[in-house]
Amino acid sequence: MISENLKTMINEYFDNELDKKSESSLFVLLSQDDEAREYFKNLSFLETVVDETSEEPDDDFEERILRSVEKLSNPHLPFFQRIRIIPKLSYAFAILMLVLTTYFFVKLETYQDRIDTISNHLIQQAYTIETLYNSLPAVEVNAKSNNPIIVRSNL
């Protein structure tokens, strides 16, 4: 297993941060440790691959990155999602509908009571009219062939 100190020295070597004195001690340590030598070879291979494949970015590369970051930071939301007032309006509308429904229910109940009262009053009036009609005396009809019909009440 590679010690942390040796690993740090190898990483500093590839980052060009290792001084000349430590560099010579690094190669001495690499000659003694097979695992460290393998790690050094892998990093060396990685560095050569990166050097070979690195290409110069396009001129508008930075602009494209900035635009994509800007799009991610400010996503385009539909109109109704950007406006946070819609849920508040729907709650207010629901409360208004509840109040109006309660008001109209009470009004309807009042009208129903009035209709019941008027209906009872009409029934009493019909009964009174029927009673008056039945209390009238009988009517006598006298007819003569040459005279008009005369109707008399026996009051």
Q: Position 73: which residue type?
A: S
Both tokens of residue 135?
Answer: 């209390």
CB-based contacts of 22: which residues, under 8 Å, 6+ apart? Answer: 9, 12
Burial of 148 (0-12, 13-18, 19+ CB in 10 A): exposed
35: left (phi over 0), alpha (psi -120 to 50) or beta: alpha
Give the span between the Cα atoms of 43 and 16, in whole angstroms: 13
What predicted TM-score, i.e. pTM, was given to this entire model?
A: 0.37
DSSP string, 86-104: HHHHHHHHHHHHHHHHHHH
pLDDT in tens, the chain (155 residues): 678 888 889 888 888 888 888 888 888 888 888 898 899 999 999 888 887 886 777 778 888 888 887 776 666 666 656 667 777 888 999 999 999 999 999 999 999 999 999 999 999 999 999 998 888 777 776 666 666 666 666 66
